[in-house]
Structure formats: C-alpha cells, structure tokens
C-alpha cells in the first residue's frame, strides 16, 4: 500500500508543504521540488507520480501544480 502524499495549500509567501505518511518533508516551490522530496522519501516512481497526475497525491487548498502565494 502506498503512503498518503499530501501537498498542502500554498503559503502566503509561496510554496507548499509536502507530507508523506504524516511526516512533513519540506516546502516545494515547483514540481521538481515535489519530485525530489518524494524520491528522498523512497518513492522510486516519484517523477511519474507527479507528472502523471496520480490520485495518490492529495492536493489541498489549491490547484494541482500551482505553488505561488496563497
């Protein structure tokens, strides 16, 4: 079973917190950052998850792939 991936709403200054299995991995400012966080979390298919619009990624409080100020 894949861990829950949550990309939180954009922050007022820009960027989105990323959490995997409830652990905050960092603040992503673009899809490249998100992919790198997921790769470091051990998800070998991170690039496909991000670019393929995977249902495993839960985008909260904003549109997917948008990282600008909230």
Instruction: Per residue of the chain (70 residues), give pLDDT as tens.
Output: 678 999 999 999 999 999 999 999 999 999 999 999 999 999 989 999 999 888 899 999 999 999 999 7
Is residue 12 situated within a structural domain?
Answer: yes
53 found inside a domain: yes
Q: For residue 42, what are the contacts with CB-CB under 8 A and spacing of at least 6?
A: none
Residue 47 placed within a domain: yes
Q: Looking at the domain assignment, is residue 67 inside a domain? A: no
Instruction: Determine the structural domain holding residue 23 and report its residue range.
Output: 5-59
pLDDT value of residue 53: 82
Q: Answer whether residue 68 is part of any domain.
A: no
Domains held by the chain: number: 1
With respect to residue 64, please indicate whether it lies within any of the assigned structural domains.
no
Domain membership of residue 66 (yes or no) is no
70 within a domain of the structure (yes/no):
no
Quick one: pLDDT at residue 11?
Answer: 96
Q: In the chain, which ranges are E strands?
A: 5-10, 16-20, 23-28, 57-59
Q: Give the integer Cα–Cα distance in Å for 39 and 59.
A: 18
Q: In this structure, what are the phi and psi dihedrals at residue 35, rounded to the nearest 5 degrees?
A: -60, -45
């Amino acid at each position: 079973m894949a861990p829950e991936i949550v990309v939180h709403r954009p922050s007022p200054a820009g960027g989105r917190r990323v959490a995997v299995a409830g652990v905050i991995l960092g603040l992503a400012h673009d899809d490249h950052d998100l992919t790198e966080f997921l790769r470091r979390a051990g998800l070998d298919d991170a690039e496909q998850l991000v670019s393929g619009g995977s249902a495993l990624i839960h985008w909260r409080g904003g549109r997917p792939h948008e990282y600008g100020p909230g």
